[in-house]
A and B are shown apart, each in its own frame.
Chain A
Amino acid sequence: MRKTAFLNLSLAKCRFVFLLVLAVAGQSLALNPTSPNPVNPSNPIDATEYSQTGPATLAELDLLSAALIEKAANGNTPAHEFRIEARIYRELLRRLMLDNQALPEQDRIPQHPLMERVRMSALLHSAADCKTGLVITCPPDLMRQLKSQQARIDQAPKFKQLLLE
């Protein structure tokens, strides 16, 4: 039983890293209006390169929050692991916002989608505090708010796209 749970966890981690790489390769630069080099799909970026390539993107953050919400919902995520990943989300968000501030006014991501991610970060922090033993168990109202916040966030790229058009 414990072994199966470990395998599930490893699979979830692999899937998360895969999604992160996909996000970087396929979407990150497309969402970053100032990116000088558009992504060539035949030459994807690997995860180590990602850490050196520059600012995090909204798409990466959204993938991370979606993965964290899934983890919060499944009821067997170790609390320390969840707390670290919620912290990573916050640091990526901080980095994105600081990089965004350095951009010229017309290239900046608007404040509204960023504020949505700040709210998500606050909710994820609350979720990290909900522990039963050593695993995360969120109360139903928090879980519902996490999901509805993610749904609202998922509309942000469309909003961004509309702005770019």
Chain B
Amino acid sequence: MAWSHFFGTIWQILSESAFWVLVSLLIGGLVHEFLPTSRFRERLNGKGRGAMLGAVAFGALLPICSCGVIPLAISLYRAGVRLGPVMAFAAATPIINPAAVILSLALLGPQITAAYVILGLTLPFLLGIVAERWGDRPTPMTVPAVTACCGPKAGCCDSAGNAVPASPGFWRRTGSGLKWGLTDLGPTIAFYMSIGVLLAGVIAAFLPPSWTETYLRENSFVALAAAGVLGASLYVCAVAHIPLVATLLAAGAAPGVSIVFLVTGTATNLPELIALYKTIGRRTVTLYAVSLVAGAMVAGALVNAWLMPGFEPAFDPVNSLELLEAGERLQPTIGAVATQVTTIALVGLMILGIWRRGTGWLRARRARRRDDGCCSG
């Protein structure tokens, strides 16, 4: 049983996220190639909270899960975008999207949907502020400013007077960006994701099957904390899990605890946390995870105080069914063949990532031994 949960969870994470991870890698490659030299980066890095609000709004429109957002967030960060907007985008994208809001209205009722939307928009914004204020200091990325053109063949000169080679054409840059996304960023992220996916499988295998019923029913601090921590570790997709949360609520789950589970579950998971931890910075990701769970717990306690006891949302079943269908239509459906192909491709990237890490580690070890042998001799 534990083995079936282990492999079932691994398969679920890989098959549900593979398509979006690959799409995100391709877009991430283009971001890496084009963003550093575009004016859009300056806007994203503009002073004040405007960039953070923009990142939250943009993220809230994309139907990408917490695994799928990793490549995009990392490529934005590596392209020189401020940490705050990057983390706000990484949190907002999986937490909230139009399909999830409509599904929530259909199945969870207007009160919980209001709490979900408010939390889904404010929490990423606050996480962005926390990450920017107290997170790791990013290495500044400088793009040479082109000042003058020396001639059609010689290219241009930067502010220091050095010749900058003529910019390759659009298609060459596109190809180069996509190549970077798939062969450089892809295996790196897939390697960290593979560790996270394995750990998520282990947690699912050892977690008692009835933990959701046990914790989500209670209205206590322990229940809020358990829903927050376990939600942040497990892979939860907003659209797929809203029906589950709806049935738990109908069975008597506390609304605040359900919101905590939905928000922390969708915002992050172990594969995402490990990948960001290794690529963006330990301090930032620790702050991000702690603030996310703490913020969601506070919001969950407030929702419980507002709606409990005796919470019974009123539904019009015909209206709910219509909304349910509208929400499902908004969520892009990935076909069976595309799911299989992208899952195989993601597993391939994971194997490539593990291979590169393994060979790099062996090479470093051999070099260390050679150095030791040389010096001790």
At the interface, yes or no: A126 with Cβ under 8 Å from chain B?
A: yes
A101 surroundings in chain B (CB, below 8 A): 318
| B111: A residues at CB distance < 8 A | none
Q: Which residue in A94, A130, A141 is a CB contact (below 8 Å) of B321?
A: A94
Cross-chain contact A149 with B247 (CB below 8 angstroms)? yes
Instruction: Tell whether A122 pairs with B324 under 8 Å between CB atoms, given A111-B315, A111-B317, A115-B317.
Output: yes
Give the contacts of B317-357 with A (CB-CB under 8 A): 317-318, 320-321, 324-325, 328, 333, 336, 339-340
Determine if B9 is an interface residue (Cβ-Cβ < 8 Å): yes
Question: Which residue in A129, A131, A133, A148 is a CB contact (below 8 Å) of B247?
Answer: A148
Interface residues of B in 89-114 (CB under 8 A from A): 103, 106-107
B240 partner, pick from A97, A117, A126, beta carbons under 8 A: A126
The reply to whether B336 and A134 contact each other, CB–CB distance below 8 Å, is: yes
Task: Note all chain A residues with C-beta closer than 8 A to B321.
Answer: 90, 93-94, 97, 118, 121
Say yes or no: A139 contacts B9, CB within 8 Å.
yes
Interface residues on A, range: 35 or more
Q: Do B315 and A142 touch (CB < 8 A)?
A: no
Does B311 count as interface, using CB distance less than 8 angstroms?
Answer: no
**Chain A positions within 8 Å of B320 at CB level:** 115, 118
Determine whether A119 belongs to the interface, using a CB cutoff of 8 Å to chain B: yes
Residues of A contacting B107 in the complex (Cβ-Cβ under 8 angstroms) = 118-119, 122
Minimum Cβ distance to chain A for residue B205 (Å): 10
Name the residue in A93, A131, A141 with the highest tally of chain B Cβ atoms < 10 Å from its Cβ. Answer: A141
CB distance from A71 to the nearest CB of B (A): 17
Contact among A98, A111, A142 for B244, CB-based, below 8 A:
A142
Give the bracket for the number of chain B residues in contact with chain A. Answer: 35 or more
Nearest CB of chain B from residue A151's CB, rounded to whole Å: 10
**Given the known A-B contacts A79-B336, A114-B317, A115-B320, are A148 and B328 also in contact in the complex, defined by CB atoms under 8 Å?**
no
Residue in A121, A133, A141 whose CB lies within 8 Å of B340: A133
Tell me whether A98 and B212 are in contact (CB under 8 A).
no
Contact A140 B8 (CB under 8 A): yes
Chain B residues with Cβ under 8 A from A130's Cβ?
12
Q: Does B316 contact A (CB under 8 A)?
A: yes
**In the complex, A10 has a CB within 8 A of chain B:** no
**A125 contacts chain B at the CB level, 8 A cutoff:** yes
Contact between chains at A132 and B11 (CB < 8 Å): yes
Residues of B within 8 A of A70 (CB): none
Query: Is A152's CB within 8 Å of the partner chain B?
Result: yes
Q: Known A-B contacts: A90-B321, A93-B321, A126-B244. Give 17 more (CB < 8 A).
A: A79-B336, A111-B315, A111-B316, A118-B320, A119-B243, A119-B246, A121-B324, A122-B103, A122-B242, A125-B243, A126-B240, A131-B15, A133-B340, A137-B8, A145-B244, A145-B247, A148-B213
